[in-house]
Structure 1
Amino acid sequence: MSISQSLDLPVTGMSCASCAGRVEKALRALPGVQSASVNLASESAHVVFEGAAQDTLMAAAAMQAVKKAGYAVPQERFRLGISGMSCASCVGRVEKALRSVPGVASAAVNLAGESAEVSAPLGSVDAAQLIAALRKAGYEARPFDDAGTDAAPAIAQRAEATAKALARERNLALLTLALAAPFVGGMIASLLGHHDLMLSPLVQFLIATPVQFVLGWRFYRAGWSALRAGTGNMDLLVALGTTAAWGLSTWLWIAGLPHIEHGVVPHLYYEGSIAIIAFVRLGKWLEARARGQTAAALQALLRLRPTTARRRRADGSEETVETALLQPGDLLLLRAGEAFAADGIVVEGHGSVDESMLTGESLPVDKQPGDTVRAGTINRDGLLVVQIEAIAGETMLARILRLVESAQMAKPPVQQLVDRISSIFVPVVLFIALVTFALTFTLNGGNVEIALLHAIAVLVIACPCALGLATPAALMVGTGVAAKHGILIRDAGALEQARDLRLVAFDKTGTLTEGRPVVAALHAMNGDVAALLRFAAALQVGSQHPLAAAIRARAGTVALPPVQDFRDFAGRGVCGTVEGRHLLLGNVRLLQEHGIDAAPLRAQAEEQAGQGRTVSWLADDHSKQLLGLFAFGDEPRATSAAAIARLKQMGLRVAMLSGDSFAAANAVAARLGIDEVRAGLLPEDKAAVLAQLRNDIGGDIAMVGDGVNDAPALAASDLGIAMGSGTDAAMQTAGITLMRGDPLLVADAIDIARATDTRIRQNLGWAFAYNVIGIPLAAFGLLDPVLAGGAMAFSSVSVLANALLLRRWRPTTIVRQEARP
């Protein structure tokens, strides 16, 4: 009889007993669930399931079931720094240990960053449980970030710990290399015919033994932890291989003692064991250095925020305080050259602010009262007084740091294959080594020495490290350098999607255009333009839509009558009662839906649309009479045409989706060089149009947008790209977010995503090829154990070095600026 286990989940969104019943029904329908009960008062669910079911699978399935039922399970994320991992097999063991903790819904481990991210229902798991599970598996862990808090201190703490670990690895590597030098030198001399330069057997033993069991102790410790967990790792392979070489040498030396007295010195292999340990130690040091460089972009972001700020007291005096003591509503004073410590609004002063560290924009941005400033940006000139709106973990800088870290923790789809191979890699290598020993022993007349050397070479040439580092190393460098230039890659899957893109679809307003329309023309049926403007401005008094702002700006300070029965028609317009008249303001679709003829002003509308202007109509819904029209001009962004041309040079097709009329949309498309246009679309139409375009071209599609109305289209595309000047809804839906409203960044985002994906595939190709070629060479005796150890140590270094080449990547705008005379 299996032992039952239980799981407690918080559930939000329930309002009555029927809600609780629906949640219970959804949970009871899951395979393996024995019972489920929901407490409406405490907003929680208690699930009892069979002990054979995996906790992680059950937690994830339960959360998904609650979500499908129409409710939510609040989650919390834990970030842990992990020490003791050495290869891809370790990644699998750590993930398995974390997922074994009851309540854990998901766990992802990054070997290059030596970190893990765990997701669990709120309150079901604490960091102590996770750390205890990892210690039981043979690894040390520490929490370095709290979900929802400021990531900067955690990153600083990690950087300091990494620096100390790097110094220790360097010292141990140099010491081991110094002790190995006489052995390697003697081995080279022997190959050149100078056999008298090799150290005596006793001296070899006295040096090799502490190297093997003191400097090489880490391999035994980690290898033993792997064995206790029922698996294997790189450390186990190194420990077995070097111990075999040391043991063989010691046995040959003891057995040959009688012959040594007569001047016959047996050939020993201490140089093999000590050189392998030295090379692996050297490789680990270089690997640690490269790992530090992969996080360089994140460290650069971290250094942006100052540690202190000058705050204005209530009496007008100033005080210097630590940034941790700042609160929303505080007033900060910024002189020229000082960095902003928090997000806020300028309330006094004028100046220019350098935002390049967040957006990649090299030119300073002018700021005046009412403008937003971000933590980490720098006041270049002028004196500014800023009222704080967001502090610590809620600032844009902190959100970027969390976003980049989450992206670096993610695994692209190709990594799933690597994880499956890594899980069986070490057992397969051990099996190959045993077969190699048996066959070599048989084919060489029972010569243990030759058979053991071939088996040792197989053990030490195998390198799961390169497999484990291939993806996360490139991902860390790629996402980091992208963030440095204002491109945030939120989803690792976006890398592969960018590679397969065939077409990029743009929203028009606010994406290809400035998004700041002005009333360029207006026509009133009765000639009373002032009344027309007053009615329209009254309808739009509470709207945040750009066209509404344009009408209010044109109306100026005119007194506006109140509006009643206001209603918003998504993608079409608005209606409301003003001075007793039920008015409509919107596009021609809204007029058609209410049976109003636009013919009296159709000629004027077509003329305006032919100039690329957006037309809105004002009509009386009761009398079905047209009152007038407004034409809005919204100029294309300065870089839109160049962005379209660049995408075409990259072999991509470009389309534009717009809710505007065909005439207005086609006029803008013609100016920008876009051939494919879909106009007159409602927000819900864009997803269907994307599906149609996908079928037409037979490939993946990217959607670029910036507004709330774009969120469904971004989600429906293969790759959503949100412009940084847009809304949070668009950014949360997109796989890539651009931190400034520059269409040229779209091509840059696709380029860096493709470059990162290419490095990942190159790394994986090298790692697989290295093992596929190296292991057979070692098995057939064509590779000396010393050379095998050196090759293994440097295979992971080469993978990291290839990933670090991504640091050379630069956006097109910077390349063009540098190319100018």
Structure 2
Amino acid sequence: MTAKPAHVTFDITGMTCASCSARIEKVLSRQPGVSDARVNLALERADIDGDSLDPATLADAIARAGFGAVLRRDDFAAHREADEAQAASRRAEERQTLVRLVISAALTLPIVIGMLPMMTGLGEAWISPLWQAVLATGVMAVSGSRFWREATGALRGGSANMAVLVSLGTGVAYLWSMWVMLSGWADPHAGHGSDMASHLHFEAAAVVLTLIMLGKYLETRAKSGAAGALRALGRLQPDTAEQKTADGAVRTIPVEQLVAGDTILIRPGARVAADGVILTGQSSLDEAMVTGESMLVARGPGDLVITGTTNTDGVLEVEVRAVGADTRLARMTRLVEEAQSGHAPVQKLVDRISAVFVPVILVIALATLAGWMLAGSDFETAMVASVAVLVIACPCALGLATPTALVAGTGAAAKAGILIRDIETLERATDIRAIAFDKTGTLTMGAPEVSWLYPVGGVSDTDLLRLAAALETASEHPLGRAIVSRAQADGVRVLPATAIRAIPGRGLEGMHEGATLRVGSERFLIEAGIDTSRAGAVTAPEGSGTLAWVAADDRLLGVIGLADQIRPHASQALADLSARGLATIMLTGDNEAAARTIAREANVSDVRAGLLPGEKLDAIRELAKSTGGHVAFVGDGLNDAPALAAANLGIAMAGGADAAREAAAITLMRPDLRLVAAALDVAAKTRRTIRQNLGWAFVYNLIGIPLAAFGILPPVFAGAAMAFSSVSVVTNSALMARWKPNFPKD
């Protein structure tokens, strides 16, 4: 029996405004097993979470609501195909909208020109009522039919959307004018009689539809641009790869057939087909689209390569480590998708308003009609005012305000090498008051080297290095790798220890040559009952940094000094954060002297050294209390995962441990600490754009609807205002897509 999924994604067709997305969310939330349903109007996508979901049942529910639903499969290749299909569909819709717009404009222009003298009070209309009717009928058939179809689908599904308002408004104006002409209010063959012309509103119906179609076309183009970053990521994955077989032959296969352990060739100009490690060859890679790094990066044997990056010169032979959905590109794409499908806290208010918006507008339009007639006006005057109310009320702007800004902001961040997990992360990132940093691998390069050896008790340098390396062969920690590398470079023969176990935050211990070996901090050895005073007052040479203490059973063997370089731009990055009024703190398990040396170089204002992982976690909780819950933590290692998860905002370096990236809310795709401030900037700008959009949408309706109801705003201007509202919101969001980190010059 096939297991039912706990998460389902559909591409949705037929949505036109916030009322549509709110309707689908409401329908989905009522389905069995659904715990959460999020519908993104800008991405035209529904994400559903729950227990044992049935995609067929969910698709049927969406169809009954009047919309189309296409299930997205889980694998990366299928996602890419779905994105391409959706992009093709949007291009087709854009072309169709443009054709409708051009034809409608061509039919509307003669009506406007012909009615211009009468509208400006300079004379009678130049166009006969019959020609107005013919041309307006053409506009209704070309553009009006689209809104009638959408309105019918919505009403059949039990909801009302923007298309209902447009169809009602323009339909009433058109049918009234047609009735006036055909009823013989005035002689329809009188040609240019001002009596009839003054009672016809063909131009209102035609102009409103044309302007709204213009708004739809501009909106479609702007939405397409805002979502460009996600589509660009999908296009980075090559379709084929050159696989090197066991007999040395090279064959071209689909990337879906690659498995971990395969060997592939990456020729100059080709994109890397899978994550892997270079076996042979030297080259420079363009990693801009994946990590945001604008400069070419030199890569050689032993270096990692990332799917989607471009090889610029040499031929590389690469051993595949991850393919398909397991690649960094796929994980990055998933993170961006998840962030873009979220709802901002303020969106909950918008959703509640959108759910009742169209019914409320219909009531206001009827009240306007009744109010004018009770005030003694004729039906025509009352009708024109109510039509204006129907036309100007646009829930599109409300529905597009949040998702378009979110899509553009997270997309721009991804281009710069900043992956934002969800909308809540954007909210939290704008209120940070203090940022704590791990040291090794975060503030420093994470590639230390042995700088000096200090054996005691007659132990030789070689034996000190050999015994320490015997334990560290099992370690993935940068300090352990440095000790092993030094032993290999010195030609020291190392036999791995046995029964090795890691003591978090302290070091390693294991059995070797009949003795219990320990390598770690001085605190680790003291807790094991080892006298470290035999080393005397160890004075580390300048820049040696971290000290690794080595012991066998209860006897101290010596101390190894390791040096690590501070990351480029670290000092500049932290100075920038301090200039913004943010407190900067270093939390490290390293010794006090090494920590303070790095802190001085990096411009860190506060240092807390010698911390175990649990103590680092306690420090984050303490900082959260002192800042009112506004602390961020930047780390990269496995032991940083608890602190990253506990911080109000966890920021992980992409080159670090998987556990760190999973625990973090933001991942920096390249080890440039200036991206920390950039992440805060893009979060603030995205939230600001969302609020600007929502402010404009609310103010527009609060001002426009009363003006229309009181007859101050005629239907033609109401239609123009409606189109302008949606376009302005989407354009404001599209500007967000141009955001780039503002790094000061070195």
- What TM-score, normalized by structure 1, do the two folds share? 0.86
* Aligned-partner Cα distance in 2 for 1:151–1:749: 27
Q: Which residue of 1 aligns with 2:504?
A: 570
Task: Summarize the alignment of residues 199-218 of structure 1 with structure 2, pairs less than 5 Å apart.
Answer: 199-212=127-140, 215-218=143-146
Q: Which residue of 2 aligns with 1:475?
A: 406
Where does the alignment leave 5 or more consecutive residues of structure 1 unmatched?
Answer: 1-7, 11-73
Q: CA deviation at 1:213?
A: 5.0
On the 8 A contact 2:75/2:324 being kept in 1, the answer is: no
Candidates 359, 374, 377, aligned match of 2:309 = 377
Q: CA deviation at 1:78?
A: 2.8
Asked whether 1:363 is paired with 2:363, we answer no
Structure having greater relative contact order (Cα 8 Å, sep ≥ 6): 2
Q: Which residue of 2 aligns with 1:29?
A: none
* Aligned-partner Cα distance in 1 for 2:384–2:211: 18
The alpha-carbon distance between structure 1 residues 609 and 771, as it changes in their structure 2 partners (threshold 3 A), is farther
Candidates 89, 95, 98, aligned match of 1:161 = 89
Asked whether 1:130 is paired with 2:29, we answer no
SS of the equivalent of 1:458 reads helix
Q: Which residue of 2 aligns with 1:684?
A: 614
SS of the equivalent of 1:770 reads helix
* Aligned-partner Cα distance in 2 for 1:505–1:98: 41
Asked whether 1:614 is paired with 2:546, we answer yes
Q: CA deviation at 1:788?
A: 0.5
Candidates 512, 516, 521, aligned match of 1:587 = 521
* Aligned-partner Cα distance in 2 for 1:260–1:560: 105
The residue type equivalent to 1:688 in the other structure is D
More moved, 136-145 vs 725-734: 136-145
Asked whether 1:658 is paired with 2:588, we answer yes
The residue type equivalent to 1:533 in the other structure is L
On the 8 A contact 1:561/1:579 being kept in 2, the answer is: no
Identity %: 46
The alpha-carbon distance between structure 1 residues 188 and 658, as it changes in their structure 2 partners (threshold 3 A), is farther
Q: Which residue of 1 aligns with 2:664?
A: 734
Q: Which residue of 2 aligns with 1:762?
A: 692
* Aligned-partner Cα distance in 1 for 2:88–2:575: 45
Asked whether 1:106 is paired with 2:36, we answer yes
The alpha-carbon distance between structure 1 residues 257 and 775, as it changes in their structure 2 partners (threshold 3 A), is closer
On the 8 A contact 1:568/1:575 being kept in 2, the answer is: yes
More moved, 333-342 vs 473-482: 333-342
The residue type equivalent to 1:640 in the other structure is A
Candidates 56, 61, 71, aligned match of 1:143 = 71
SS of the equivalent of 1:608 reads coil
More moved, 102-111 vs 497-506: 102-111
Q: Deviations over 1:91-128 (max 9, x none)?
A: 11112233333233322111111122223445x412x3
On the 8 A contact 2:21/2:40 being kept in 1, the answer is: yes
Task: Summarize the alignment of residues 54-65 of structure 1 with structure 2, pairs less than 5 Å apart.
Answer: none
Q: Which residue of 1 aligns with 2:151?
A: 223
Q: CA deviation at 1:530?
A: 2.4
On the 8 A contact 1:111/1:469 being kept in 2, the answer is: yes
The alpha-carbon distance between structure 1 residues 149 and 729, as it changes in their structure 2 partners (threshold 3 A), is farther
Q: CA deviation at 1:197?
A: 3.1
Q: Which residue of 2 aligns with 1:539?
A: 471
Q: Deviations over 1:302-355 (max 9, x none)?
A: 333333333334443333344344444433222222222222222222222222
Asked whether 1:312 is paired with 2:239, we answer no
The residue type equivalent to 1:423 in the other structure is A
The residue type equivalent to 1:479 in the other structure is T
On the 8 A contact 2:408/2:733 being kept in 1, the answer is: yes
On the 8 A contact 1:151/1:402 being kept in 2, the answer is: no
The alpha-carbon distance between structure 1 residues 565 and 343, as it changes in their structure 2 partners (threshold 3 A), is closer
Task: Summarize the alignment of residues 29-428 of structure 1 with structure 2, pairs less than 5 Å apart.
Answer: 75-121=5-51, 124-126=53-55, 128-146=56-74, 149=77, 151-212=79-140, 215-258=143-186, 263=193, 264-265=195-196, 266-428=198-360
Asked whether 1:466 is paired with 2:397, we answer yes
Q: Deviations over 1:755-814 (max 9, x none)?
A: 11111111111111111111111122111111011111121111111011123222234x
SS of the equivalent of 2:48 reads strand
Candidates 602, 626, 629, aligned match of 2:556 = 626
Asked whether 1:805 is paired with 2:746, we answer no
SS of the equivalent of 1:514 reads coil
Q: CA deviation at 1:699?
A: 5.1
Q: Which residue of 1 aligns with 2:481?
A: 549
Q: CA deviation at 1:212?
A: 2.8
SS of the equivalent of 1:197 reads coil
SS of the equivalent of 1:82 reads strand
The alpha-carbon distance between structure 1 residues 198 and 662, as it changes in their structure 2 partners (threshold 3 A), is farther
Q: CA deviation at 1:729?
A: 1.1
The residue type equivalent to 1:205 in the other structure is A
The alpha-carbon distance between structure 1 residues 357 and 213, as it changes in their structure 2 partners (threshold 3 A), is closer
Where does the alignment leave 5 or more consecutive residues of structure 2 unmatched?
Answer: none
Q: CA deviation at 1:396?
A: 2.1
Q: CA deviation at 1:446?
A: 4.3
SS of the equivalent of 2:312 reads strand
Report the RMSD for the aligned CA atoms in angstroms.
2.4
On the 8 A contact 1:612/1:668 being kept in 2, the answer is: no
SS of the equivalent of 1:337 reads coil
On the 8 A contact 1:150/1:393 being kept in 2, the answer is: no
Q: CA deviation at 1:725?
A: 1.0
Size of the aligned set, in residue pairs, is 739
The alpha-carbon distance between structure 1 residues 321 and 554, as it changes in their structure 2 partners (threshold 3 A), is closer
Structure 1: 4+ residue segments shifted above 6 A:
none
Q: CA deviation at 1:425?
A: 1.4
Q: CA deviation at 1:647?
A: 1.6
The residue type equivalent to 1:310 in the other structure is E
* Aligned-partner Cα distance in 1 for 2:366–2:186: 32
Q: CA deviation at 1:477?
A: 1.1
The alpha-carbon distance between structure 1 residues 334 and 576, as it changes in their structure 2 partners (threshold 3 A), is closer
Q: Which residue of 1 aligns with 2:367?
A: 435
The residue type equivalent to 2:469 in the other structure is A
The alpha-carbon distance between structure 1 residues 698 and 749, as it changes in their structure 2 partners (threshold 3 A), is same
Q: Deviations over 1:573-613 (max 9, x none)?
A: 12223222223322133234233343343521xx3398571
Q: Deviations over 1:659-691 (max 9, x none)?
A: 112222122111111111222211122232122
The alpha-carbon distance between structure 1 residues 310 and 555, as it changes in their structure 2 partners (threshold 3 A), is closer
On the 8 A contact 2:76/2:330 being kept in 1, the answer is: no
* Aligned-partner Cα distance in 2 for 1:489–1:505: 19
* Aligned-partner Cα distance in 2 for 1:568–1:376: 36
Asked whether 1:717 is paired with 2:647, we answer yes
Q: CA deviation at 1:567?
A: 2.7
Q: CA deviation at 1:736?
A: 1.1
Q: CA deviation at 1:169?
A: 0.9
Q: Which residue of 1 aligns with 2:429?
A: 498
SS of the equivalent of 2:32 reads coil
The residue type equivalent to 2:101 in the other structure is A
Candidates 477, 492, 496, aligned match of 1:558 = 492
Q: Which residue of 2 aligns with 1:17?
A: none
Q: CA deviation at 1:246?
A: 1.8
* Aligned-partner Cα distance in 2 for 1:664–1:435: 75
The alpha-carbon distance between structure 1 residues 293 and 549, as it changes in their structure 2 partners (threshold 3 A), is same
The residue type equivalent to 1:435 in the other structure is A
* Aligned-partner Cα distance in 1 for 2:124–2:186: 19
Q: CA deviation at 1:284?
A: 0.8
* Aligned-partner Cα distance in 2 for 1:327–1:532: 42
On the 8 A contact 1:77/1:146 being kept in 2, the answer is: no
SS of the equivalent of 2:516 reads strand
